[in-house]
């Protein structure tokens, strides 16, 4: 595995013989950092970036809908931005793990004033054949008293936090929760984790990877684990598994806003587990228990 960096813009991890990187993290190229492509171990791309109806949705990203009324989610008219303020600190370890640390400023649209400082870290860990983890930790430090909010759910709304938009090349997808239940369109279901899995049709944007890998693994998915120490754990989930509109969000503001005084930090931890094949409830729960115990 090779780390490639475009200083000040992006970093990626790739196999020498794959068309697509395993993952590519963009920062300071759009109003918010994001991962795209994000691929399964076998090489299938899971993510979609900038669909025509939601151009601000890019792969895997972290955002809050409103900070003191300023929109940091949708990118139309006046909206807030996230700026990575210094080069990424990148460490590749002997066991294959990759650690990325960065600092960000959340700037409000009217005058570019910083309302939140953020310390953001990702750790890539190859777990075993057919799966890897991206461990995400973010600490938000308000530079003034803030209220973090969302659009209250009616027929849509409630989203804020770690979010994922999936490729249209999936089919027969399923959203699975820790109690073994499924939902085509969850709106506030609380759960330790949520998994989005399905089969790939091998259409445009799919990487065949090394010879034979695509024939071995024609299905895969992504699970997001909510750490037990997170605020409002277990988190409410907002999502969609309807054809062509695959979306998943750990919506910690789904039920109500959250206010923070200046200087009072807020930390979240998540594991994004990327896997080949369709994982069932027991297998995912074992993986969650291992993560929650760390």
- Nearest alpha carbon to residue 184 among 91, 257, 246: 246
What value does the CA radius of gyration of the chain take, rounded to a whole number of Å? 18
Closest CA to 238 of 167, 176, 188: 188
The per-residue pLDDT of the chain, averaged, comes to 93
Asked if pLDDT for residue 202 goes beyond 90, the answer is no
* Residue 251: strand, helix, or coil: strand
- Structural domains counted in the chain: 1
- pLDDT of the residue at 38: 98
Q: Could you read off the pLDDT of 60-118 as tens digits, one per residue?
A: 999 999 999 999 999 998 999 999 998 899 999 989 999 999 999 999 999 999 999 99
Please report the pLDDT score of residue 288 as a whole number: 98
Q: Print burial letters for 15-34: b (CB count within 10 Å at least 16), e (below 16).
A: beebebbbbbbbbbebbbbb
CATH of the domain at 256: 2.70.98
Question: How far is residue 180's CA from residue 285's CA, in Å, rounded to a whole number?
Answer: 10
Whether the pLDDT of residue 203 is over 80: the answer is no
Structural domain containing residue 213: 2-292
Enter the tokens of residue 287: 């993986």
β pairing state of 266-276 and 187-190: unpaired
Strand intervals (E) in 29-97: 34-38, 60-63, 66-67, 70-71, 81-84, 89-92
Q: How far apart are CA 199 and CA 276, in angstroms?
A: 10
| The pLDDT of residue 19 | 86
Q: What pLDDT score does 1 carry?
A: 86
In angstroms, how far is CA 69 from the centroid of its own chain? 23
Q: What is the pLDDT of residues 248-268, one digit of tens each?
A: 999 999 999 999 999 999 999
170, 128, 193, 13: CA torsion to nearest 10 = -60
What pLDDT band is residue 208 in, cutting at 50, 70 and 90? very low
Mind listing the pLDDT tens digit for each residue in 148-170? 999 999 999 999 999 999 999 89
Strands 2-6 and 81-84: unpaired
pLDDT at 206 over 80: no
Mean pLDDT within 5-14: 93
Query: Please, are residues 256 and 231 in contact by the beta-carbon 8 Å criterion?
Result: no
Q: Which residue has the tokens 């600490």?
A: 139
Phi, psi of 95, rounded to the nearest 5 degrees: -90, 10
**pLDDT score for 101:** 97
| Structure tokens given for 234 | 């277990």
- pLDDT band for 223, please (50, 70, 90 cuts): very high
Is the predicted pLDDT of residue 216 greater than 70, yes or no?
A: no
Closest CA to 269 of 142, 119, 156, 59: 119
Cα(161)–Cα(122) distance, rounded to whole angstroms?
Answer: 15
Other Cβ atoms closer than 10 A to 226: 29
Using a pLDDT cut of 90, give the percent of the chain over it.
Answer: 87
């Amino acid at each position: 595995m090779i780390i490639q960096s475009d200083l000040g813009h992006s970093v990626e991890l790739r196999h020498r013989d794959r068309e697509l990187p395993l993952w590519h993290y963009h920062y300071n190229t759009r109003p918010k950092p994001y991962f795209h492509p994000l691929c399964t171990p076998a090489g299938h791309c899971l993510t979609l970036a900038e669909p025509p109806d939601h151009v601000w949705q890019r792969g895997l990203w972290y955002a809050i809908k409103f900070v003191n009324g300023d929109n940091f989610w949708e990118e139309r008219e006046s909206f807030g931005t996230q700026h990575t303020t210094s080069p990424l600190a990148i460490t590749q370890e002997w066991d294959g793990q990759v650690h990325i640390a960065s600092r960000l400023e959340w700037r409000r649209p009217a005058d570019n004033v910083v309302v939140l400082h953020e310390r953001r870290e990702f750790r890539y860990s190859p777990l075993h054949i057919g799966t890897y983890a991206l461990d995400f930790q973010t600490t938000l430090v308000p530079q003034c008293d803030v209220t973090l909010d969302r659009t209250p759910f009616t027929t849509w709304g409630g989203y804020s936090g770690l979010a994922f938009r999936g490729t249209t090349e999936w089919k027969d997808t399923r959203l699975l929760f820790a109690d073994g239940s499924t939902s085509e369109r969850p709106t506030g279901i609380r759960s330790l984790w949520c998994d989005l899995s399905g089969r790939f049709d091998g259409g445009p944007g799919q990487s065949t990877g090394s010879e034979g890998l695509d024939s071995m693994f024609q299905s895969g998915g992504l699970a997001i684990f909510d750490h037990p120490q997170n605020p409002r754990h277990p988190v409410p989930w907002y999502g969609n598994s309807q054809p062509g509109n695959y979306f998943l969000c750990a919506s910690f503001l789904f039920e109500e806003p959250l206010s923070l005084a200046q200087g009072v930090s807020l930390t979240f931890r998540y594991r994004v587990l990327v896997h080949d094949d369709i994982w069932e409830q027991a297998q995912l729960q074992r993986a969650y228990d291992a993560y929650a115990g760390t």
